[in-house]
Amino acid sequence: MTEIRDSYPISESHPMPGKTATAIRFREIGLLSPIFLVGLLLGAGEVQAGAGEEWTQPGGDMAGTRYSELAEITPENAGKLRMVWNFSTGVLGGHEGQPLVVDDTLYVVTPWPNVLYAFDLTQEDYPLRFKYRPDANPAAIGIACCDAVNRGAVHADGKIVYNLLDGRTVAVDAKTGQELWKTTVADLASGETLTMAPLVAGNRVLVGPSGGEFGIRGSLKALDLETGAIVWQMRNLGPDTGMGVKQETFKPSYPPAPNAGTDTWAEESWERGGAPVWGWLSYDPALDLVYYGTGNPGPYNAEQRLGDNKWSASVMARKPGDGSLVWAYQFTPFDNWDYDATAENILVDLEIDGRVRKALVHFDKNGFAYALDRATGEVLVAEPYVPVNWATGVDKTTGRPLVVPEKLTGKSHGLVKNICPTLEGGKGPSAPAAWSPRTKLFYVPTLNLCMDWQSADAIYVKGTPYVGATIPYHPGAGPHLGGFMAWDAAAGRKKWEVNERFPVWSGSLVTAGDVAFYGTLDGWFKAIDANTGKPLWKFKVGSGVIGAPISYRGPDGRQYIAVYSGIGGDWSLVAGDVNSADPADVRPPTDFAPDLARYTSQGGMVWVFAL
């Protein structure tokens, strides 16, 4: 049975609890922690299930679960959470992504100019250990599609590795802040920027460019972790040879004809067909596969690129060693609606139809929640998690959506009204879900918006927008514009949902204490019971939350929760007057959320909470 809740006011927290006695942590006295022992028992080849005392990966672990094994904070005591520290990043842009915690240091990466802060958690007030300022190119700001955001860093081999908006990947010594290497991986002049968080698999740093609205040809690159040298590059569309497709290793569950990356595009439209990489990556060491989603095909006027447009709007499974493509699955063939598939791919084992399957769970922009076999790409479950009307379902035999012809777009279709969900998605790809091995549920931020769509001819000019559509939004059914839900991916159904006044664009966190965390666009950071959805606590963080929370154990032995605030991304473009630093920015608010700017303005902050 699905339970729907409205978010309701509860008592607000008040800052600054008293100091607690310092506790000795397992690693400080050289003992094997229970978490490490579990890892030894499982074996090095198993997908890591959750973050422990630290948070070293963008998604907490290589599987992208955003699950913390810490359990001090529970539904019984979450109402006693207090703010213990905050810090202004000095940057107004949208603060997506999440901090890292490695040993006793908190790392924060800002939007452009992509400053890296390192804070000392062992001292009162968390003073800076170092501040790394890259030579960021300001030209990137005008090229970035949807705000100059950054989705975070990764720690590996004593390095903090992250991307600069201007198309470079940088590695910094995690102890000293010294720049170790910096490599150009994107072509700013062509409309490519870097906003995604890298993933490290073995000695490979995996990165890919944004730019689907600029007619780029998307790709994934692997850099050497030690030197930053580019080891390989594989395209997401084009001839098989450039995509790493080999007859002996490419074995998808729904095999296409050879050279599908060219032959499913009208004429040579694949050469500027998009399929960028701006979302999240995950890795299964047992299968030795890296998973990532590709973005929209370009331009938005679908009649300029007739065909399935493979492999845009797809998930790709590659070997990190040489980049070879093992399988690919396209969520939205011939994407008419800008349904990027760049959302997270969470790797978990699920019992489906009485059989335990190695699954990949993905909440697509197109409104369907998928569970795929992560070894082959077979569709195991595909059900709508938000209202969907562009398709009636997904045929698991073919893997294809059952499209409603009346919702197809293109110049000849004129104005197509009331398509649900919007191009922002049923869930925003930059707002990752979380999974709990305790509840077996996924915790998902959602949007309740629909759109009208009118296409026009787009003209390609290198380095300029290549779009060709006008797309106004309007609210979906009901008084709410978003929510936060618990989803049973094995059954393909919702367990409960908390409705929110505005779209929910923050990431999610769930802990072993059975508490889930998320933030709202009007500047609230909230804790809810992971089993029931009951609100437990909330705190006003000023600006809207579009980042993802993390959890870690501090040097004093306590569990902490950290999150960014700082509205931006698409929402700074539609909220109206939220940038008071720009006297010319007095745009009217969007029709579907006309009062959002009454509750929030831009301004980046880092917040830390504890009992």
Q: How many Å apart are CA 135 and CA 123, to the nearest integer?
A: 30
pLDDT tens across 512-560, in order?
A: 999 999 999 999 999 999 999 999 999 999 999 999 999 999 999 999 9
Tokens of 83: 């703010």
Contact 260, 311 (CB under 8 A): yes
Non-local CB neighbours of 485 within 8 Å, separated by 6+ positions: 385, 443, 444, 446, 494, 495, 496, 497, 498
pLDDT tens across 232-246, in order?
A: 999 999 999 999 999
524 membership: H or E segment, kind and range: strand 524-529
Active site residue 338: yes
In the DSSP assignment, the letter for residue 42 is: H
Q: What is the pLDDT of residue 48?
A: 54
Domain coordinates of the chain in residue numbers? 3-610
**DSSP string for residues in 123-139:** STT--EEEEE-----TH
Q: SS3 sequence, 211-233?
A: CHHHCCECEEEEEECCCCCEEEE
Sign of CA dihedral 512, 278, 518, 424: negative
Q: How many Å apart are CA 445 and CA 443, to the nearest integer?
A: 7
Higher pLDDT, 581 or 282: 282
pLDDT tens across 464-473, in order?
A: 999 999 999 9
pTM to 2 decimal places: 0.92
Non-local CB neighbours of 3 within 8 Å, separated by 6+ positions: 495, 496, 497, 532, 533
Cα-based distances in Å from 211 to 219, 273, 296, 322:
11, 10, 10, 24
Given 96, 338, 344, 500, which residue is catalytic?
338
Q: 138 phi and psi, to 5 degrees?
A: -65, -15
Cα-based distances in Å from 53 to 16, 282, 561:
22, 20, 12
Cα-based distances in Å from 76 to 79, 326, 554, 583:
7, 46, 21, 47
pLDDT tens across 436-449, in order?
A: 999 999 999 999 99
- E strands present in 8-104: 67-68, 82-88, 100-102
Contact 51, 68 (CB under 8 A): yes
Q: What is the pLDDT of residue 30?
A: 33
Tokens of 445: 């931020």
Per-residue confidence band for 569, with pLDDT thresholds at 50, 70 and 90: confident
Q: In residues, how long is the chain?
A: 611
Per-residue confidence band for 34, with pLDDT thresholds at 50, 70 and 90: very low
Given 150, 236, 296, 579, which residue is catalytic?
296
- Beta-bridged to residue 182, according to DSSP, are 170
Q: How many Å apart are CA 531 and CA 392, to the nearest integer?
A: 30
pLDDT tens across 191-208, in order?
A: 999 999 999 999 999 999
Comparing 86-100, 467-481, 568-582, the range with the smallest average pLDDT is: 568-582
Contact 542, 558 (CB under 8 A): no
How far is C-alpha 83 from the chain's CA centre? 25
3-class SS at 79? helix
Per-residue confidence band for 103, with pLDDT thresholds at 50, 70 and 90: very high
Nearest to 341 by CA among 279, 289, 383: 279
Q: What is the pLDDT of residue 47?
A: 59
Contact 359, 348 (CB under 8 A): yes
**DSSP string for residues in 542-581:** SSPP-S--EEEE-TTS-EEEEEEE---THHHHHS-S--TT
Residue 20 has pLDDT above 80, yes or no: no
pLDDT tens across 330-367, in order?
A: 999 999 999 999 999 999 999 999 999 999 999 999 99
| Burial class for 230, CB neighbours closer than 10 Å (0-12, 13-18, 19+) | middle
Q: What is the pLDDT of residue 36?
A: 30
Which option is the CATH number for 3-610: 2.140.10.10, 3.40.50.20, 3.40.50.150, 1.10.3720.10? 2.140.10.10
327 membership: H or E segment, kind and range: strand 325-330
Residue 582 has pLDDT above 70, yes or no: no
Tokens of 485: 């839900």
Tokens of 74: 């529970």
The CA-based dihedral angle spanning residues 405, 406, 407, 409, taken in that order and rounded to the nearest 10 degrees: 90
Contact 558, 72 (CB under 8 A): yes
Sign of CA dihedral 538, 544, 547, 552: negative
Active site residue 86: no
Given 54, 213, 340, 424, which residue is catalytic?
213
Q: Any long-range contacts for 324-328 (C-beta under 8 Å, 24+ apart)?
A: 324/244, 324/246, 324/249, 324/250, 325/234, 325/243, 325/244, 325/245, 325/246, 325/249, 325/250, 326/249, 326/250, 326/251, 326/289, 327/250, 327/251, 327/252, 327/253, 327/376, 327/377, 328/252, 328/377
Residue 130 has pLDDT above 70, yes or no: yes
Non-local CB neighbours of 487 within 8 Å, separated by 6+ positions: 363, 369, 385, 433, 441, 442, 443, 444, 493, 494, 495
How high does pLDDT run on average in the chain? 91
Non-local CB neighbours of 379 within 8 Å, separated by 6+ positions: 253, 329, 370, 371, 372, 394, 396, 399
Residue 408 has pLDDT above 60, yes or no: yes
Report, as an integer, the average pLDDT of 466-494. Answer: 96
Based on DSSP, count helices (H) and strands (E) in the chain, helices before strands: 5, 40
Active site residue 373: no
Q: What is the pLDDT of residue 594?
A: 75
3-class SS at 186? coil
Q: How many Å apart are CA 357 and CA 380, to the nearest integer?
A: 9
The CA-based dihedral angle spanning residues 328, 331, 335, 340, taken in that order and rounded to the nearest 10 degrees: -90
